[in-house]
Amino acid sequence: MKPPASSQPRRAVAAAFIGTMIEWYDFYIYATAAALLCVLSLARRHASAERVELARSLS
């Protein structure tokens, strides 16, 4: 059974809103993970670079 025509725009707006919210949540998770991985990666590289500089200065 098909819903009345007057409820169709409301359903479309609700579906668009839910889809947009899911998309923004997905973007938030991706951006947070990317920022955390970037910080961890750069911290690890920085520590390695410090060790190399220390080794060079001692030899």
Per-residue pLDDT reduced to its tens digit, 8-47: 889 999 999 999 999 999 999 999 999 888 887 776 666 6
In a domain, 9, yes or no: no
The pLDDT confidence band at residue 1, using thresholds 50, 70 and 90, is low
pLDDT at residue number 4: 64
29-43 in b/e form (b: 16+ CB < 10 A) is eeeeeeeeeeeeeee
Q: Could you give the number of structural domains in the chain?
A: 1
The parent domain of residue 50 ranges over: 28-59
8 in any annotated domain: no
Are the C-beta atoms of residues 38 and 46 closer than 8 Å to each other? Answer: no
Handedness of CA 4, 23, 29, 32 (dihedral sign): negative
* 43 assigned to some structural domain: yes
How far apart are alpha carbons 15 and 2 in whole angstroms?
17
Would residue 2 count as lying in a domain?
Answer: no
Within a domain: residue 59?
A: yes
Q: What is the pTM of this model?
A: 0.55
